[in-house]
Amino acid sequence: MIDSEKPKSNRRIYGSLFFLLATMVLIFFLSFQVVQRGTFLSGPKIPEPLPTRLNVALLKSDYTSNFFKEKRHYEQILSKWKTFLSDMEIEHQDITDSDLERGELGEFTVLILPVALCLSDGERSAIRDFLSEGKGVVASWAIGSRSQEGEWVGWGFLEEYTGSKFADYLEKKAAVWVTFIGNSPLSVGVDPGFRMELYRGQEMGIIRTSRDAYWSDWSLNPQTITEEPNSDVAVAHGNYHEGRMVWFGFNVTEVIEDSVDQMVLKRFLLNAIHWTGRIPMSEVWYWPGSYQGAAVFAQDVEHQFENSANAAKILEKEGIPGTFFCISDLAIHNPDLVKTFAEIGEVGSHSDDSQVFKGQPFNLQLKRMKKTVADLKKIIGVKVKGIRPPQELFDEGTLKAWATVGGEYLFANPNFKKAVPELVTLEGNLLKTLLGKKVSLVIIPRVVIDDYDVFVTKSLTNKEEILRLYQMDFEKIYNLNGLYMFSYHSQHLSSPEHVEILASMVKYTKTYNLWFATAHEVSRWWKSRSKISTEIYKISDNRLILSVKNLNSGSIANLSVVVYLPRSPKTLEIKSDFSHIPSPDHHLEESKLVVSIETLNPNSIQTYTIILQEVFAESLRNPPYLQDVTY
């Protein structure tokens, strides 16, 4: 009995030893991979950040409060600010007009002036002195336009503070929006072209050569306060002597109570306080490398299907990839042409038969999508990833049906709020049953006119007028650092009589610093970018640590990270904290640093040390009034 137990015991022992040895080998292998890749578990020990030093003062002005007929209006504005500061865990202290007049600002580093309409001469002097000491000021609306008694004194102090030529209230209209521009410390974490809606009040605009956000209509077109150019500025930042200032021409209580708009407001205000308080900030650049914007030439291939060949020839000649959304019931009768589309770009679906998806039962939508995907795959040999719903209309069932058949993105215009794609996560019992997991889709908006608007809605015929209209739309999106979707149809712009307009626009856009891509490439980039994050913090007065995290399962190439520094160094050094990774290329412009990362490995964190060397004296670079800072 005892002897018969020995073999089993030995097997258990050998099995345990084998498992232990296999585990050690696996750990060694994973450790080797981790060290090679520079992932979460490897690398040198990162120094602890310095405590964030933000000492914030909030002006509670009796002068301004006494001017308002209804003091509760002013109290509501102050209350909104206090709630925001509390939500962001920013400690602050209220100060009075007398405190400010006496210059008793102690160790404060940032001064917030909510609707500081009425200021005394002493307060104006104290604000100037505070900025001259290298501190920061965040102000809103008609700052200093009235005396302490409430008498009108003009826009002089506001123009001095903002470095503007002119200021005035906006013309009264039914609705107004603030559109944020990318590439600014105030828009970190805010998508380019985000359109924030306001309840109507007495909003202000200024004339200034640089801006962080502008007054716009729903379609992101600038709304100016005069006939002069650059008179649409709603938000601005800059330097005053050695200090930093931010101004915006609306009150915080005027932003609509929409959760997304309120979230963007909070992020903007936090950025304003951090920038003026010299807290470094960073974010992943919107597009690969150093491209300032992206462009997709997307054709709906439907009526007069054969016309699409005219556009394909132009794109191929110019070396521009095209995206062709085909109605599959028509595509199966033109297989050679559809194969040509795949060779010079991407083929997507424009549905099976041009009928609108929105409102149809889910099962019918799913059946139609399975059919269009299968029909197009028979032609080009691969499954299509994108769809352009007919008439740009879709509902939740459309999204879930497209995700179910393996789709990755939709090109449509669902009341867009930004000039870049949007990532949406789909959940619910239906998807769990069909796919067993959460899925994400990219929605690519069209925020400009297309050829249907030109030829049908507007009935335009003059080719020069049409071309200029297209160019203005393009420049609007490019200046936002957004995605320009040039949308056109086989029966309109691809027709022989109009295709030269397309050729002109292709040549025109090629003169700009653009990433030309297919819609699928854009959607993949945007989805990958959403899984990359950055952090930046100080470990000494002259040393920063930049951390870039990639949560993608694949490598990311040609990535840029923008860093807004606490001051403007004359020179700096940046080096990788991993010995096997070379120091990255970088470009420095004032206090903005762009770090170019050649490759970021999957599931990894890469860290860099930034050493600020010689630093400019702000007062030597700026005269005793604010200068525009263009980023």
Q: What is the pLDDT of residues 265-295, one digit of tens each?
A: 999 999 999 999 999 999 999 999 999 999 9
Secondary structure of residue 391 in the 3-state scheme:
helix
> What's 528-621's CATH class?
mainly beta
Tell me the torsion sign for CA atoms 348, 351, 356, 362: negative
Give the integer Cα–Cα distance in Å for 615 and 590: 10
Give the integer Cα–Cα distance in Å for 327 and 375: 10
**Run of H or E residues at 161:** helix 156-162
Secondary structure of residue 248 in the 3-state scheme:
strand
DSSP class of residue 222? B
Full DSSP string of 125-158: HHHHHHHHTT-EEEEESSTT-B-TTS-B--SHHH
What is the pLDDT at residue 42?
Answer: 46
Residue 335: count of CB within 10 angstroms of its CB: 12
DSSP class of residue 456? I
Of 466, 185, 131, 231, give the one whose Cα is nearest residue 474: 466
Across 175-253, the runs of DSSP E, i.e. the strands, are 176-180, 195-198, 204-207, 213-216, 233-240, 243-248
Beta bridge partners of residue 293, listed in sequence order: 514
Q: Provide CATH code, domain 293-512.
A: 3.20.20.370
Residue 464: count of CB within 10 angstroms of its CB: 9
Give the integer Cα–Cα distance in Å for 631 and 628: 10
Give the integer Cα–Cα distance in Å for 478 and 295: 9
What is the pLDDT at residue 429?
Answer: 55
Cα distance from N-terminal residue to C-terminal residue, the chain: 85
User: For the chain (length 631 residues), average pLDDT per consecutive 10?
Assistant: 41 48 43 39 60 88 92 93 94 96 92 97 97 96 96 96 93 84 96 94 92 94 88 94 95 94 96 97 96 98 97 97 98 97 98 96 97 98 97 93 96 87 79 63 94 95 96 97 97 97 98 98 97 95 95 95 95 88 91 95 94 63 39 31
Secondary structure of residue 286 in the 3-state scheme:
coil
The answer to whether 96 and 62 have CB atoms below 8 angstroms apart is yes
Of 102, 94, 100, give the one whose Cα is nearest residue 78: 94
Tell me the torsion sign for CA atoms 281, 284, 286, 287: positive
Residue 624: count of CB within 10 angstroms of its CB: 10
Which residues make Cβ contacts (< 8 Å) with residue 285, sequence separation at least 6?
A: 559, 560, 561, 562, 594
At the fourth CATH level, which superfamily is domain 56-278?
Class I glutamine amidotransferase (GATase) domain (3.40.50.880)
Residue found under tokens 């021409």: 249
φ/ψ (deg, to 5) at 234:
-105, -25
What is the pLDDT at residue 505?
Answer: 98
SS3 sequence of 334-389: CHHHHHHHHHHEEEEECCCCCCCCCCCCHHHHHHHHHHHHHHHHHHHCCCCCEECC
Tell me the torsion sign for CA atoms 12, 17, 23, 29: negative
DSSP class of residue 257? S
Of 372, 288, 384, 302, give the one whose Cα is nearest residue 345: 384
What is the pLDDT at residue 623?
Answer: 39
What is the pLDDT at residue 51?
Answer: 66
Give the integer Cα–Cα distance in Å for 252 and 391: 37
Give the integer Cα–Cα distance in Å for 600 and 290: 16
Tell me the torsion sign for CA atoms 121, 125, 131, 136: negative
Type of residue numbered 98: S
- At residue 131's C-alpha, the angle toward residues 97 and 118, to 5°, is 30
Secondary structure of residue 545 in the 3-state scheme:
strand
The answer to whether 196 and 261 have CB atoms below 8 angstroms apart is yes
Give the integer Cα–Cα distance in Å for 323 and 579: 42
Tell me the torsion sign for CA atoms 573, 577, 583, 588: negative
Which residues make Cβ contacts (< 8 Å) with residue 72, sequence separation at least 6?
A: none
φ/ψ (deg, to 5) at 329:
-65, -25
Give the integer Cα–Cα distance in Å for 250 and 223: 15
Which residues make Cβ contacts (< 8 Å) with residue 365, sequence separation at least 6?
A: 357, 397, 398, 401
Secondary structure of residue 306 in the 3-state scheme:
helix
The answer to whether 142 and 206 have CB atoms below 8 angstroms apart is no
Tell me the torsion sign for CA atoms 565, 570, 576, 577: negative
Domain ranges of the chain: 1-37, 56-278, 293-512, 528-621
What is the pLDDT at residue 2?
Answer: 34
Neighbour order of strands in the sheet with 556-564: 281-284, 556-564, 592-600, 585-589
DSSP class of residue 455? I
Residue found under tokens 């890469």: 606
Of 168, 145, 175, give the one whose Cα is nearest residue 158: 145
Max Cα–Cα distance, the chain, nearest Å: 108
Secondary structure of residue 310 in the 3-state scheme:
helix
Beta bridge partners of residue 196, listed in sequence order: 178
Strands 56-59 and 92-95 turn out to be: parallel
